Chains A and B, each alone.
Chain A
Amino acid sequence: MFNKILIANRGEIAIRIMRACKELGIKTVAVYSEADANAQHVQLADEAVLLGDAAPKESYLNMDKLIDTAIKTQADAIHPGYGFLSENASFAATVESAGLTFIGPSADSIRAMGDKAESKILMKQSGVPTIPGFDLGIGFGQAPYGDDKTKAKRSELNAGLLTSVREIGYPVLIKASAGGGGKGMRVVNEESELSEAIESARSEALNSFGDERLLIEKYLADAHHIEFQVFGDKHGNIVHLFERECSVQRRHQKIIEETPSPLLIPELREQMGQAAVAAAKAVNYYNAGTIEFIFDPKTSQYYFLEMNTRLQVEHPITELTAGIDLVQWQIRIAAGEKFPFTQSDFHQHGHAIECRVYAEDPANGFLPSTGSLLQFIEPHGPGIRVDSGFSTSSEVNHFYDPLLAKLIVHAENRETAIQRMQTALSEFVVHGVVTNIDFMQAVMAHEDFANGKVSTRWVEHTLESGSLLPDVQQQAVELQRLIAAALADVVFVGSKSQPAVSNETDPFNPWKQTKSYRN
């Protein structure tokens, strides 16, 4: 087993990993940037080393500094957490060649799954369903202008194209191969719209990415995101630890996850779990990983989307329902231990939900909100877990992900878990930055969520319809709020006989006129 582990991350995940290390009797080294000098993860580690400037490339993304620090502090392994360098194959390779252990999969596994096109081919070969689609080469779908020879060739190509798209079946999605951020994306509902959509997607792709290559894929309008946790050791043992339903998303990022998925029947779960294990085996995977599937609730068809070759943000809901400490086992597996469990040892117990508490403003396009935390009170109670990296007076800066905490609940069934989450959310107090707590409360109370009818585009659509804006302007509460705000000035600072409240914007103002009271 390791003596000391360097944690190449920050925030809640660094603290989560430290906790596992402590339980295993392993010493920890925290690394931090100048912006994080007062961060919790720095305070909780056995040793803390400053990497440099706040900019990630000078700190949490700086491979040389990280490996140097690990060697200097005599750490024997590096845990990358999630994000930052966790899915960087060359980092994993460099760590290993420096004589340290990378707590994660092999560099080869990361590399194989990192390339979207390559991994898709690999999955097809391994019998894992992938989304039907194909690359659109240069020339395809272009109007037949030019000389006669080119024209003829293009018409021929286009006839082939139409047949191929018909095979996929409409609607289809056209997207830029080099793409991202929705640029160059077009949904095509019928054949008559195809050529125009290709033309415009191509020019947008060229303008945005300098690369006109396109992909055509089957379009799933109400798709769900369902992923499977896999876990394996270096001795060839691999299991899946069931699914996580992660369809509540904004800007293609998850905000609420739960397990089990309200959509999966046992046969389907079994089938998808086996596909996930096959996918992992195809790249000789070990350690914790996640196979993401797109799930079509109409047909119950599922398609491989990608593999995340690291620990996921939402791992706690799997820990609670499958009854395993994933981070502890990541470390033990990395140290060479054999995973003593087999698939039949695992069962799902109860229901778990995670809400990601972000410093962001849902009313303002979910833009991050920064500042000092004036108050940060986490909820407590049976079945409530909070993984956080902040406390009262912590700074939320603009350099990193605005995740404040993960609020996780576990209960015997889904209905009880939702109620527990609603109570826990209402007891989570964050002042100083705007958070999405009220927004998640509105999602929890929505009938679509209760009915498991939330697809990955649901937040976007439902926000437009206005039914997700919390009713905080309720009149009785509004008056109570004003009273509370006014009273706070008296109760927390001044005294009843000499109230600090006056026509002054600031009761703490050192220059406030106290003379008036003397007269």
Chain B
Amino acid sequence: MKINFDTQTLEINPSGDNYLAVMDGKRILVEIIRVDAAQGRMDLRFIELSESDSIRESVSKSVYVSSDMAKRWVTINGHTLMLTKTSGAKQGVRHDHAGGLIAPMPGQVRSVSVSVGDFVKKGQTLLTMEAMKMEIRIQALKDGKVKSVFAAQGQTVEREQILIEMEE
């Protein structure tokens, strides 16, 4: 599949147990050596392939990645940079998370009124949060089943943080 970050496009697909990334004619086989999800750390081996699939260069690196909606914070070789995932061809069309189940501003979760597995109706208040002395209700945009709840009462959440995920 193609993935776009800012103005760059990368093609990346599974290849056996590994992944094959292609960009600007370069072909990199990526082996996932180790993953530490709590630290957002991946130990990766980048193997650059020649046209005949022989190994041109191979290097192992620890990388750290954090996601905040479309933003990806990536640390590699000790340098950190923020990338923004874009929708490529659909540039300019913002996915403004019509689900409305994200925090619209930084604040604190006042109450969570649903649990995983609950069936909810469109318009039902799922969670309330407080930000800048305002109460904000997070409501279901359509009928459905609650898949995950990522926020707890009293928790401070940042802008655009996912609060509740719905099944389909």
Contact = CB atoms under 8 A, between A and B. Distances in A.
A312 to B, nearest CB: 28
A90 interface: no
Nearest to B46: A480
Interface in B24-50: 26, 28, 30, 32, 35, 37, 39-40, 42, 44, 46
B73 A374 contact: yes
A511 B168 CA distance: 6
B10 A375 contact: no
B158 A371 contact: yes
A483 B12 contact: yes
A480 B40 contact: no
Interface residues of B, number: 67
B67 A492 contact: yes
Interface residues of A, number: 54
Contacts of B87: 503-505
> A interface, by DSSP: helix, strand, loop or mixed?
mixed
Given A485-B5, A487-B19, A505-B95, A375 B40 contact: yes
A480 B63 contact: yes
Contact of B76 (A375, A480, A503): A480
B113 interface: no
A21 B68 CA distance: 38
A282 interface: no
Contacts, number: 180
B44 A487 contact: yes
A510 B147 contact: yes
B61 interface: yes
- Prevailing SS type, chain B contact patch: strand
Nearest to A437: B80
A464 to B, nearest CB: 22
A93 B12 CA distance: 67
A514 B42 CA distance: 26
Nearest to A470: B79
B79 A395 contact: no
Given A482-B10, A482-B23, A511-B166, A477 B79 contact: yes
A472 interface: yes
Contacts of A503: 1-2, 4, 87-90
B46 A505 contact: no
A489 interface: yes
Contacts of B147: 510
Interface stretch (A100-108, A253-261, A423-431): A423-431
A493 B64 CA distance: 15
Contact of B40 (A395, A427, A488, A506): A488
B67 A488 contact: yes
Interface stretch (A119-127, A196-204, A315-323, A494-502): A494-502
Given A375-B66, A486-B10, A434 B82 contact: yes
Contact of A506 (B8, B10, B23, B69): B69
Contact of B95 (A375, A425, A488, A506): A506
A360 to B, nearest CB: 13
Contacts of A429: 39, 64, 75, 80
25 contacts: A372-B106, A375-B40, A426-B77, A431-B64, A432-B158, A482-B10, A482-B23, A485-B83, A485-B85, A489-B67, A491-B32, A492-B37, A492-B40, A493-B67, A503-B2, A503-B88, A503-B89, A504-B87, A505-B85, A505-B95, A506-B69, A509-B99, A510-B147, A510-B165, A515-B168
B84 to A, nearest CB: 8
Contact of B8 (A371, A435, A482, A484): A482
Nearest to A515: B168
A251 interface: no
Given A375-B39, A505-B69, A505-B87, A510 B99 contact: yes
Given A38-B156, A432-B73, A483-B46, A377 B37 contact: no
B3 interface: yes
Given A484-B76, A492-B67, 14 more contacts: A372-B68, A372-B106, A426-B78, A470-B79, A472-B81, A477-B77, A480-B63, A482-B3, A483-B44, A485-B72, A486-B12, A492-B37, A505-B69, A507-B67
B109 interface: no
B13 to A, nearest CB: 9
Contact of B97 (A375, A438, A506): A506
A186 to B, nearest CB: 40
A86 interface: no
Interface string A411-432: 0000000000000011111111
A501 B99 CA distance: 19
A477 B83 CA distance: 13
B101 interface: yes
Given A480-B46, A503-B90, A510 B162 contact: yes
A479 interface: yes
Given A426-B78, A472-B81, A488-B65, A509 B46 contact: no
A431 B46 contact: no
A510 B64 contact: no
Contacts of B134: none
In the A-B complex, the 8 residue pairs with the closest CB atoms: A426-B78, A431-B73, A372-B158, A488-B65, A374-B66, A431-B66, A484-B63, A485-B72
Nearest to B17: A496
A484 B68 contact: no
